[in-house]
Amino acid sequence: MTQRLEDGVAAHATHEGGYFPNKLVRILLFSLEEVLGSNSLRAVLTLARLPELADQTLPPNFEPALPFSAIAQLTAAIDEMHGVRSGQQLSLRTGHALFRHGIKDFGGLLSVADVAFRILPLSFRVRLSMEVLGEILNRYSDQRVRLTETPECYLWIMERCAICWGLQTTYPVCSLVTGLLTETLYWASGGRSFQVEEVTCIGLGDPACMFRIGRMPVVPA
């Protein structure tokens, strides 16, 4: 990330945290529509005080579109409409869809979607796919992601997370990220499932949203 971009991020941080660009919001809305259906999406957007988004198609560019607070309103509206349990399940599925829609749009991931990538060792593919995803989010979403690992697991740490921005919750609320990571790993591993769990959440008062990712697939293919 460049210094110039860091300055921009810092300026945003004092007020609204940061912004998702048009391209990312566009993919998020496609994903939400796929999972919720268009009527339910319209209701969620109204509840989130973003009704205008139901009737417009955003251009696929990197102009700032929605502040973090609006992204978090969407998270909260889904849970409010559907209840926490179903709401978080829907966010999880939206995260899966987000990966599938996103891979068409973000060249970074596509560049590893070839034969050379497929023949790399599994552990390498797992780590690389998360690194690329983190790079894309750091570069295009104003969020701050870093990946680290222990002997038992990987830790995906978001010190700035749009999904729970400004929310105060009683449960880890960022299932959208859990879903995005799960689907990324499913794809990177050629169809294996990895356990991904949000273990701390800024919405709960923790300093970061942290996701614990098993090193090995849950069910060997």
**Residue 164 binds Zn ion, judged by CB under 5 A:** yes
**Residue 163 binds Zn ion, judged by CB under 5 A:** yes
Shortest gap between Cβ of 212 and Zn ion (angstroms)?
14
Q: Which amino acid is residue 57, in one-letter code?
A: T
Q: Which residues contact 39 (CB under 8 A, 6 or more apart)?
A: none
Binding residues for Zn ion restricted to 81-110, rule: CB under 5 A:
none
Interacting span for Zn ion (CB under 5 A) from 25-33, 38-46, 139-147, 202-210: 202-210
In 3D space, the residue among 137, 186, 180, 178 whose CA is nearest the CA of residue 159 turns out to be 137
Among 161, 180, 185, 210, binds Zn ion (CB under 5 A): 161
Residues paired with residue 197 on neighbouring β-strands, in sequence order: 212
Interacting span for Zn ion (CB under 5 A) from 39-47, 72-80, 127-135, 159-167: 159-167
Among 174, 181, 185, 196, binds Zn ion (CB under 5 A): 174
Q: Please count the other Cβ atoms lying within 10 Å of the Cβ belonging to residue 138.
A: 18
User: 178 with 185: CB under 8 angstroms?
Assistant: no
Shortest gap between Cβ of 107 and Zn ion (angstroms)?
26
Q: Residue 120 to residues 86, 93, 114, 128, 150: CA-CA distances in angstroms? A: 37, 28, 11, 10, 21
Q: Please identify, using beta-carbon distances, which residue of 207 and 220 lies nearer to Zn ion.
A: 207
**Residue 196 binds Zn ion, judged by CB under 5 A:** no
Interacting span for Zn ion (CB under 5 A) from 11-19, 61-69, 72-80, 167-175: 167-175
**Residue 209 binds Zn ion, judged by CB under 5 A:** yes
Could you give the 3-state DSSP secondary structure of residue 161?
coil
Return the structure tokens found at 47. Answer: 């509840």
**Residue 50 binds Zn ion, judged by CB under 5 A:** no
Q: 196-200 and 153-160 as β-strands: parallel, antiparallel, unpaired?
A: unpaired
**Residue 185 binds Zn ion, judged by CB under 5 A:** no
Binding site for Zn ion (CB under 5 A): 161, 163-164, 174, 209
